[in-house]
């Protein structure tokens, strides 16, 4: 797992190096932005793809189990979502930046929930094994 953290840290450092020219020049447009048609379509498309992962997250929270989630896929998705945020910063695309930041947060919550429930399931399994082992020794 430490190799994954090292790769994620390297990607983040590379991303930060390219952010020198991202200082907003027109600060009044930050409060009242003027959206173009392509940005409106971008926000609509981003909404659909970003929240596609929410049903899996809510199902995992409802059943209180990590069953059915692939942690490796979530980690890969997280890395590429960060790359999409960086790409959005490079091309100064608000929809790409906004929806991928939201997607990173949703992905982070999914991974955190998975780790929580997987740890809980491991502890329950270990306790059951200890109980069955101590019961068979009697």
> What percent of the chain is modeled with pLDDT above 90?
4
CATH dotted code for 39-136:
1.20.1280.290
Q: Residues 65-115: pLDDT tens digits?
A: 888 788 888 888 888 888 888 888 888 888 888 889 999 998 888 888 888
Q: In the predicted model, what is the mean pLDDT of residues 129-133?
A: 83
Inter-axis angle of helices 94-136 and 71-91, to 10 degrees? 160
Q: Give, in order, the Cα–Cα distances in Å from 18 to each of 86, 88, 89, 100.
A: 8, 12, 9, 18
CA torsion, ordered 30, 101, 2, 129, to nearest 10 deg? 140
Domain ranges of the chain: 39-136
Are 111 and 74 contacting, i.e. CB atoms less than 8 angstroms apart?
yes
Q: Residues 11-70: pLDDT tens digits?
A: 666 666 666 665 555 555 555 567 778 777 777 877 877 777 788 888 888 888 888 788
Q: Give, in order, the Cα–Cα distances in Å from 77 to each of 8, 66, 86, 108, 121.
A: 12, 17, 14, 10, 24
């Amino acid at each position: 797992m430490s190799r994954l953290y090292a790769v994620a840290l390297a990607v983040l450092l590379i991303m930060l190096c390219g952010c020198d020219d991202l200082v907003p020049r027109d600060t009044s447009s930050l409060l009242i932005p003027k959206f173009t048609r392509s940005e409106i379509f971008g926000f609509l498309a981003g909404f659909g793809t970003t929240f596609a992962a929410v049903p899996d997250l809510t199902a995992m929270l409802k059943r209180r189990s990590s069953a059915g989630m692939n942690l490796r896929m979530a980690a890969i998705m997280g890395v590429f979502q960060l790359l999409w945020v960086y790409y959005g910063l490079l091309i100064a695309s608000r929809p790409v930046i906004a929806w991928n930041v939201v997607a990173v947060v949703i992905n982070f919550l999914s991974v955190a929930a998975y780790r929580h429930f997987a740890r809980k399931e491991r502890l329950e399994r270990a306790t059951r094994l200890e109980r069955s082992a101590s019961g068979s020794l009697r």
